[in-house]
Structure 1
């Protein structure tokens, strides 16, 4: 017979039945979420999945929700007072469609294509690293990018941050928590990680809105206090991505392993 396209001999089948019989008589672990055993086995994993999701969403939602403000700041979209409502809608939609077609959507397809060969850990690590690199590359020479004729380069690098977000942590942060925790705690741990991500989205949405305001009160949007500007806001987001890169080392690699192996369900309790 064949299992996963691999020939199984009678001797191997007999050994497999023996293993299954032994494992079926092994009592499943019974530790809870707030037990010392969970902390020993998965405590750092939960810190890793929750913190990386939070940091990703701070950076990702900040950029995603305020593309209009960023493109206006670099002069790629005309100032709002110079456009009609339809003109503004057209320019914003065109910019966001270009980012989606050139960065966001291809990034997801690359993840689908390579996640089982490259692995979740490496993809997430690479994604955070490249996001950090491109954000620093946008922020440090920010005056250059805002100069006449350089906006296209800014948009390309900006699109690449979305590409590596989706070919990176924006995909893996919700895949890994569904694979590494025990079955009875999997939904809870995934929910904790996801909730951390939504906290990050809230921080990113509101924080960037205020931080990205011009430090010059004359250029600040009506109703807002002066902020640190787009340049330094991008550096803050780069710092979040760098922290996500470092905290990824707390997350194990589930590639090629069964759910039972990753969650260590077959190990007896030690408490």
Structure 2
């Protein structure tokens, strides 16, 4: 090999400086293995013999996951939380606010507003019956257009801002979304008309504008939350492998809190403005209730705009991947290749999101009819909101449980989505064929339980997973675009539910809707890969091979059968998986990167620094690196023995 730079400087453990005479031309050197094994075979993904966790027999896989994920990592996290809490009792709350609440604030605010539309509709119908009920003074087409224009705005935002986020950058999309939502909320709060019909038209178009900002939140929040813990092309990140799903889902579940607080605010404001819990409700009270309910999130959104303008590092991963592929502007070539190589994934992420939104929005649209079934002869809007609050609370439990288990290698994304879809299917199909039985007074509690459980499994399943995987299974340069496309197709499911529910009665809804759950489970099983435990840096590495026209040369874990869909395995992808060959290829890639930097006129000292960038920093800055190297330094014996399953 030409132009091989000198040997690297000493590597430092947590306790002392140890000098190695590393043979940079051989991958069989034990000292070199002592350096590279902890980096390329991290202990959270490989056992002591160098075997990838997904290659382990089932019993050993269970033991490995329980020992590391729940044992080592779980104990470390709790120890850090406890140590921080002892220094400052509010430290865990502050950390949660920074890692989940702030990244998910946009989704929390949009959840508050979007679902308030359904919450205040019964109030409008109770006070302005001639407009919202009989349509005597309002055009029924415009009244019905409110929901359609809202969804249309969301779809426009999802697609356009998704493309914009991959073109201009994540930060621009984040700031723009918050700004558009702020303008939309100002318009909603001040919406007016010379007649009730004029006000309805104004209200509908204000929702369309607000919806554009909401739509952009989906791809921007998903990509931002996902990429903040991603490692470099060679140096992977434990945080990314073990907690990426939790990071994204923790931000996404703020949507549930938005729904919760909207109901609480509406109940409090209406009670104060009306002076009573039950009807009749005055027009003035309703005006105060819905305008105050929009003014509150407007304040929060203004603060969000200010916060996002100060964000740093949100475009780091996108710029890094574009630089490696020599791309400026929008990566149209990667978009074309995504449809060519990941067409099955596009079908899975978009199709399952469509099926889920029929359930998710159908559940919300059906909510008022469900409440009528369990509370006959009730005419109080407050009573409906009370049951809505119960339903949202059940959903929040599902959100949090999803966040807890979505990164578990024994369950993970794919099984969570399949199980969630199947439970939704069963919980709707059972009462469909025994509707009279379950809606009778003596069995109404069983009907309630099934309805609430369907909300739980929707969050502890497809609603959380679709948001994550629609970005996760694609390369960084088109990640926001792909997520926006999947989310927009999903919103067509919401439109389908709204139209469908307008023409069929309650029992027929139970006959029709469950099959979308079954279809979602089938699509998930056949076409969706399981990226649980897969490092995004490794997925990006595979993508560079594909983009260079060398996809068949890649043989790393990104094409392990565990991380491919059934469809991809049927198509023959993954046959070249070879961990022994890949180990050596990864070392050569590290050398090539180092040599490339050396050719750029870097000084001798600079070349030494570049060599240790991926190695020395690893041991300095991570507990795993320091411990792993310390265990190997006494006799220069690697953790992964010579009889390693990699047979190096």
Q: TM-score normalised to the size of structure 1? A: 0.78
Residue 265 of structure 1: aligned partner: 543
Unaligned runs of 5+ in 2: 1-11, 14-30, 41-232, 236-320, 551-648
Residue 94 of structure 1: aligned partner: 386
SS in 1 for 2:370: helix
Alignment of structure 1 residues 148-167 onto 2, 5 Å: 148-167=441-460
The question of whether the paired residues in 1 share the 8 Å contact of 2:335 and 2:478 is answered with no
Q: Distance in 1 between matches of 2:332 and 2:495?
A: 33
How far does residue 95 in structure 1 lie from its aligned partner after superposition? 1.5
SS in 2 for 1:265: helix
How far does residue 10 in structure 1 lie from its aligned partner after superposition? 6.1
Give the structure with higher Rg (CA). 2
Does the alignment pair 1:194 with 2:194? Answer: no
Q: Which has the higher contact order (CA 8 A, sep 6+)?
A: 1
Residues 33, 89 of structure 1: CA spacing in aligned structure 2 closer, same or farther, 3 A cutoff?
same
Alignment of structure 1 residues 218-257 onto 2, 5 Å: 229-249=505-525, 250-257=527-534
Alignment of structure 1 residues 70-89 onto 2, 5 Å: 70-72=370-372, 74=373, 76-79=374-377, 83=379, 88-89=380-381
Q: Distance in 2 between matches of 1:262 and 1:14?
A: 20
Q: CA RMSD in A?
A: 2.8
Mean alpha-carbon deviation: is it higher for 260-269 or for 40-49? 260-269
SS in 2 for 1:168: helix
Q: Distance in 1 between matches of 2:234 and 2:334?
A: 27
How far does residue 199 in structure 1 lie from its aligned partner after superposition? 1.3
Deviations 1:157-182 (A, max 9, x none): 10000110000000000101221101
Deviations 1:79-138 (A, max 9, x none): 36xx3xxxx11220121122222x211111110111111210110011001100111112
Q: Distance in 2 between matches of 1:261 and 1:132?
A: 35
- Equivalent of 1:39, from 339, 348, 355? 339
How far does residue 14 in structure 1 lie from its aligned partner after superposition? 5.0
Deviations 1:11-48 (A, max 9, x none): 4435759x949xx9xx649772553x433421100010
Q: TM-score normalised to the size of structure 2? A: 0.34
Residue 13 of structure 1: aligned partner: 35
Residue 59 of structure 1: aligned partner: 359
Residues 123, 42 of structure 1: CA spacing in aligned structure 2 closer, same or farther, 3 A cutoff?
same
The question of whether the paired residues in 2 share the 8 Å contact of 1:115 and 1:123 is answered with yes
Deviations 1:55-97 (A, max 9, x none): 110121111122111231x3x12336xx3xxxx1122012112
SS in 2 for 1:79: coil
Alignment of structure 1 residues 199-210 onto 2, 5 Å: 199-210=492-503
